[in-house]
Amino acid sequence: MASATATSSWIREVEPDVWEIPASAREDMRVPARLFADRELLDAISGDQSLEQLQNVATLPGVVGAALAMPDVHQGYGFPVGGVAATELPDGVISPGGVGYDINCGVRLLALPLSAEELGERREALVHEISRRVPAGAGREGQLELRDVELDRVLVEGARALAERHGIGTAEDVERAESNGCLPGAEPERVSERARRRGAGQLGTMGSGNHFVELQVVERVHDMRAARAFGLEEGQVTVLIHSGSRGLGHQVCTDYVREMDAALARHGIELPDRQLACAPLSSPEGRAYLGAMACAANFAFANRQAIAHRVREAVRATLGPEAAEGTRQVYDVAHNVAKLETHGGREVCVHRKGATRAFPAGSGEIPAEYREVGQPVFIPGSMGTASFVLVGRPGSMERSFGSACHGAGRRMSRAGARKRVSGKELRRELEGAGIVIRSASARGLAEEAPFAYKDVDRVVEVVERTDLAARVARLRPLGVVKG
C-alpha cells in the first residue's frame, strides 16, 4: 500500500472541491482516484488510509470512469467508507468489500403531523416509548421472528412482504422507498443457513454502532418547493431511522469474502489488498453474491419498515391515534449496496459503500410525486449536530454515478472517542443541550460522540457546491435512541 506521503505528492485539485490522483500515480491503477472535498476536509481525510484504499479500488478489473470518494470518506474494509466505484458488465468485478458488512445500512425519514411546539413536554415520553418498542444493541432480537418460507418472502420481496402479509407498514411506505424497498434478483438459496439463523429474529431491531432512531425538528427550510413536495415545513417533528441488515447481512459478507478470496487465482485476479476480494460479475461467485446481497438488502428494507411501524406505535401510545395515522414516510435510502444501472450508455455495477443514491429530477427511479424535484437524500450528522434532507442534482449523474455522501463521516476512531469522553459525561452534555438520550450502552454512546465526526455542515456544502445534491431542510435533534 502506498504511503500517505506518496499519495499527497500526487493529489491535485482539478476543479473547485474536486481532487484527483491520476492513474499514472501507480502502475496498477486502471482509472484515476477522485475525491470531493474542500481543503479542510482533505486534511482530515489524509489522516487515515482512505485515499490509499481508494487507489486500490482504482485497480479493480473492469472499473470505469474513476474510483470516487465522498467528502465524508474514511478508512474501511477494502473500500473506504464513502467510496463509489462502477465496474462494467459482464466481466467487471463485484467486491463484497465495496458494499460492506452492513449490507443496505440505510436511512428512513418519517414526518409527524405536528410541530415541536405542539409536542412540547411529551418529547421525553415519546423518546422513552420508542426506546421501549425498538430493541437496540448488538445481538438484540425483536418481536417478529420469521423462518423458512416467511423469511424467504422477506428476502425476495423486501418491505412489501411485511406490508402485504403482516400489516406492518403501508403500500405508501413501499412506494416511498428506493427501488420500492426491494432489490431485484434475490436468491434465498444463496444465503447460508448461518446467515438465516442470525437474521431470523432481528427484524425490527436497531443494532449497535452508529445505528439510531432520532427525534428531530425541521430547523430550517432551504428549498421551499422541494420541501413542500416532501411534506416538510419549518418547526415540524420528524423521526430519522438508521439501521441495516443486522447479523444476516454481516454473515453474507463474511461468507462471500471468503469464497471470492479462494477463487482469485482461478480468475487470474491480483489485488493490492486481499480485503478487496472480488469475482467477475459473470462468474458463478459473482452471480451468487449478487443474489445473496439482494436478499440482505431486502431484509434491511424490511427491518426499517418494522422499526418505522414500532415508531408509529410509540407515537400512538404517546400522542394518540390521529398523530400515528398522520405519520407519513418521506423516503427510505440505502447506503451499502451494489446496483446494476446504466450510466453513460454503459451497463455497470455501481458499488456504493457509505454513499447514497442521488438521482435528479426526471428520473424514472423516483416516486412520481417527487419526480419534478428529484430524489430525497438524507445526510445524518451525529447526536449533537444537525442532519440534512437534500435532493439529487444533475451533477451526480455526470460526476458520481448518481451518488452523494451518506453522513458526516468519522474523523476519530471509536477507541479514540472513548479516551476523550465517557458515556456518562456525554449523556450529561447532550441532555444539557436539550437532547433526550436513551442508550443501551454507555460505551457505545461514547464511541458516537459528535466530536468523533467531521463537520456535517461542511460536508453538505461540498456536496452542494459540486452539484451532487442540494439542501432542502436542516433537522436538529430533540432526542436519540441508540444501541
The CATH fold assigned to 4-411+453-482 is: tRNA-splicing ligase RtcB (3.90.1860)
The active-site residue out of 74, 309, 351, 406 is 406
400-433 per-position pLDDT tens digit: 999 999 998 888 888 888 989 998 899 999 999 9
pLDDT at 37: 97
φ/ψ of 71, rounded to 5, equals -65, -10
**213: part of which helix (H) or strand (E)?**
strand 212-221
Concerning whether 406 is annotated as a catalytic residue, the answer is yes
% of the chain surpassing 70 pLDDT: 97
CA distance 295 to 152: 9
CA distance 84 to 58: 10
Distances in Å between the Cα of 3 and the Cα atoms of 40, 48, 202, 434 are: 20, 10, 41, 44
φ/ψ of 299, rounded to 5, equals -60, -40
φ/ψ of 241, rounded to 5, equals -110, 125
What is the mean pLDDT of the segment spanning 207-215? 87
Binned at pLDDT 50, 70 and 90, residue 7 comes out as low
pTM, whole model, 2 decimals? 0.95
pLDDT at 147: 79
Instruction: Kindly write down the DSSP assignment for every residue of 170-201, as one continuous string.
Output: -HHHHHTSGGGG--TT--GGGS-HHHHHHHTT
What is the mean pLDDT of the segment spanning 27-31? 97
255-300 per-position pLDDT tens digit: 999 999 999 999 999 999 999 999 999 999 999 999 999 999 999 9
DSSP state of 78: S
pLDDT at 180: 97
Instruction: Kindly write down the DSSP assignment for every residue of 354-417, as one continuous string.
Output: SEEE---TT-TTS-GGGTTT--EEEE---TTS-EEEEEE-HHHHHHSSSEEE-SS-BSS-HHHH
Strand partners of residue 279:
94
**Which sequence spans correspond to the domains of the chain?**
4-411+453-482
Position 372: which residue type? E
Would you say residue 1 has pLDDT above 50?
A: no
Q: What is the mean pLDDT of the chain?
A: 94
440-449 per-position pLDDT tens digit: 888 888 888 8
pLDDT at 452: 85
Q: In the chain, how long is the greatest CA-to-CA distance?
A: 64
List Cβ neighbours of 35 (8 Å cut-off, separation of 6 or more).
Answer: 11, 18, 19, 20, 42, 45, 51, 54, 68, 69, 71, 73
CA distance 478 to 306: 22
296-325 per-position pLDDT tens digit: 999 999 999 999 999 999 999 999 999 999
- The candidate with the shortest Cα–Cα distance to 68, out of 90, 47, 50, is 50
pLDDT at 448: 87
110-169 per-position pLDDT tens digit: 999 999 999 999 999 999 999 999 987 665 666 677 878 999 999 999 999 999 988 999
| Grid coordinates belonging to 373 | 424535484
